[in-house]
Structure 1
């Protein structure tokens, strides 16, 4: 039973060429059983497949629940930040949840459980839960993305270990009104999820839940797989910015996370027979940690064998 007409939760769903997955995603969102009113803010970034058609079918069936934007031009390719620049300003709820168009929720009480937790504990700015990692091509068996237990997690732990898939997150909209909310405008940040999590950590406590309530889907079209030299270089700058924006407690982790990126660049330029740049990035990596550099090199060599 809906308690009132005020939107309690805004669900952000971003999608691009997800025709294989978007129906399962949206069905899991509209199936939520919650005592509060919620909205589903879908953003289709000019998909070239049938993703938009599928969204329109759901919009027709759930006109008061699903609120879509259909872009005619791909905003990501234009350099526009869809999450922070388009989706967040649309949110009217007290809380915000996220589910990318290729992920989906598995528990119809997910939102209810997370909202109830945050309502009981005003000290928590964000909560998240266990997620099943699913490989679309079947190359690996389904497993827990990370073994989350019922406890508080620091921003440093989340940043260093990347343990929070976005489909598990619910956070307070009020963190967007904090003094650090302009971090989303930083042009050097390219991983908006990490920026969001660190912002939440700076505004309150973050708590994990051991329950499994969503699926994180791995596939070749996903952003995780869209890695190239330019993106590696941008990732390096992203990590450099973290301690500058969120504090010196992230400095060591920032350096550690740059090592595998520098080693990857070194191997890339080795293949290109550019030995000057190969050595440049190898020296930069070794300057951070010789031990970690050696480990990353060994790992890459073992993958080749």
Structure 2
């Protein structure tokens, strides 16, 4: 038993106007059956719908577990990207970090125990993950599985590094590496840093898929940042993500990662430049990237 020896897992949970969902999320954390302690690191980005009051209620009941930062000003609107890496990773005391945002939730009470047991016994693996169902705003299941069958697999270091993966963040548990507290500055240029995180973790080990963990629940609703974005904006965000991940690997002289992301950008630009509906490309916003990578590719 590892109880009373400090948290083994730090759960990073970011919230914003999740009053309708946050109880289900927190209950999914608190129902976990483990032989170790864990902590829940919450960052609320100045919610206006009562989310902070609900978090305070849980903090009063579970002060040793629930550890919130309740912002008075919205950090995302001030231009800060990467809430978890800026506010939660630096204060994580656990050997491992698990992720779940305040509008998603877990359903398997042994999720944390299963992932910790595996990572403890398999030091060559850096991250573990599992499947999730998708529900709508009414709580109705609209997808039994968010993962294609071909993606329900373990990943090698190279597959993680190159972004040739599909890993759901709400399912992830990974080692609390030193680099997470000194996060590469390139990530600050990326709106959605999930892919960057996966590639970063690949520098330290392999990925394990757990078919034995019940699917978590991913909530699809109109207030989600990604849902609100147009196809053009999503396209732009994806290319910028690839570009800054490439720049990171180039800076640290990681040749495999550098080449992998050069190829991803070239292929994406090629594909989307042929799409007449891609206004972003037609306006030439990424022309400098296209010419830059054309030169690099020789």
Look up the match of 2:128.
127
Look up the match of 2:27.
27
Maintained 8 Å contact 1:149/1:208: yes
Look up the match of 1:267.
277
Where structure 1 has 5 or more consecutive residues not aligned to the other structure, the ranges are 271-276, 288-305
**SS of structure 2 residue aligned to 1:187:** helix
Question: For 1:214 and 1:174, how far apart are their aligned partners in 2?
Answer: 25
Matches within 5 A, 1:147-166: 147=149, 148-154=151-157, 156=159, 160=163, 163-166=166-169
Structure 1 residues 192 and 160: alpha-carbon distance in aligned structure 2, compared to 1, 3 A threshold: closer
Maintained 8 Å contact 1:190/1:238: yes
Where structure 2 has 5 or more consecutive residues not aligned to the other structure, the ranges are 250-256, 292-298
Question: For 2:34 and 2:193, how far apart are their aligned partners in 1?
Answer: 27
Maintained 8 Å contact 1:40/1:66: yes
RMSD: 3.1
Question: For 2:24 and 2:111, how far apart are their aligned partners in 1?
Answer: 16
Look up the match of 2:52.
52
Matches within 5 A, 1:63-102: 63-81=63-81, 82-102=83-103
Structure 1 residues 152 and 234: alpha-carbon distance in aligned structure 2, compared to 1, 3 A threshold: closer
1:132 is displaced (CA, Å) by 1.2
Question: For 1:279 and 1:78, how far apart are their aligned partners in 2?
Answer: 27
TM-score by length of 1: 0.79
TM-score by length of 2: 0.81
Maintained 8 Å contact 1:83/1:192: no
Q: How many residues align structurally?
A: 278
Look up the match of 1:226.
228
**SS of structure 1 residue aligned to 2:108:** coil
**SS of structure 2 residue aligned to 1:57:** helix
Maintained 8 Å contact 2:161/2:203: no
1:222 is displaced (CA, Å) by 1.1
1:225 is displaced (CA, Å) by 1.0
1:31 is displaced (CA, Å) by 0.9
Structure 1 residues 259 and 72: alpha-carbon distance in aligned structure 2, compared to 1, 3 A threshold: farther
Look up the match of 1:254.
265
Question: For 1:132 and 1:192, how far apart are their aligned partners in 2?
Answer: 22
Question: For 1:140 and 1:285, how far apart are their aligned partners in 2?
Answer: 40
